[in-house]
A and B are shown apart, each in its own frame.
Chain A
Amino acid sequence: DGGITQSPKYLFRKEGQNVTLSCEQNLNHDAMYWYRQDPGQGLRLIYYSQIVNDFQKGDIAEGYSVSREKKESFPLTVTSAQKNPTAFYLCASSMNRDGNQPQHFGDGTRLSIL
């Protein structure tokens, strides 16, 4: 079945540590996105990529970094500069950047501080 796979499901970060969240899709979608979800808030966009080897900052990019070396993969690194990383992270993809196309979501990674 086509879809988006996020791993790990749960992740713990120590102080000063960088951690990387994996996102893989087999939908042949051009565009991919990373969101952060906090309780009582809607999703906030961290980074997005419309094509391989290109990505743009979203609304809350500080303390995060991404790469898009392959169409299928869009990993997110939470760096030590992100002072409040505890959240639920969701990866999504869409066929292209057309606003009519829905985004498809993975099942998320929950990141906590040790």
Chain B
Amino acid sequence: AQSVTQLDSHVSVSEGTPVLLRCNYSSSYSPSLFWYVQHPNKGLQLLLKYTSAATLVKGINGFEAEFKKSETSFHLTKPSAHMSDAAEYFCVVSPPNTGFQKLVFGTGTRLLVSP
């Protein structure tokens, strides 16, 4: 079975410092991987996706993620945090060969940004 583990339930950073949100996945095959962001009482917004092209994926708002097959990781980074980045972030895997696009969601990481 496919699974996603977000290693931190909460991450706190100061504005202007780097952000690292960690994600490990388990998949028998090369999956598609996504990062989504959710602000309070809102839906999920796609930040970036990996679909077996370049291993370093650039997304919106200065975020990027690197796919490391040997480590089964897909960590999300940003060089400099902004107050508006405070939100919940979900790592998501889309396993292949399921007949339809069943997404497997991590439990989320809440990013707190202090002034």
Contact = CB atoms under 8 A, between A and B. Distances in A.
Q: Which among A58, A103, A108 has the highest number of chain B CB atoms within 10 Å?
A: A103
Contacts, number: 70
Given A4-B43, A107-B43, A108-B42, A99 B95 contact: yes
Interface residues on B, range: 20 to 34
Chain B binding surface SS class: loop
Nearest to A96: B101
Interface stretch (B12-20, B68-76, B103-111): B103-111
Contacts of A98: 101
Contact of A31 (B42, B95, B101): B101
B96 A42 contact: no
Interface of A: 4, 6, 9, 31, 40-45, 48, 50, 56, 58, 88, 90, 92, 94, 97-108, 110
Interface of B: 4, 9, 31-32, 34, 36, 41-46, 49, 51, 90, 94-96, 98-108
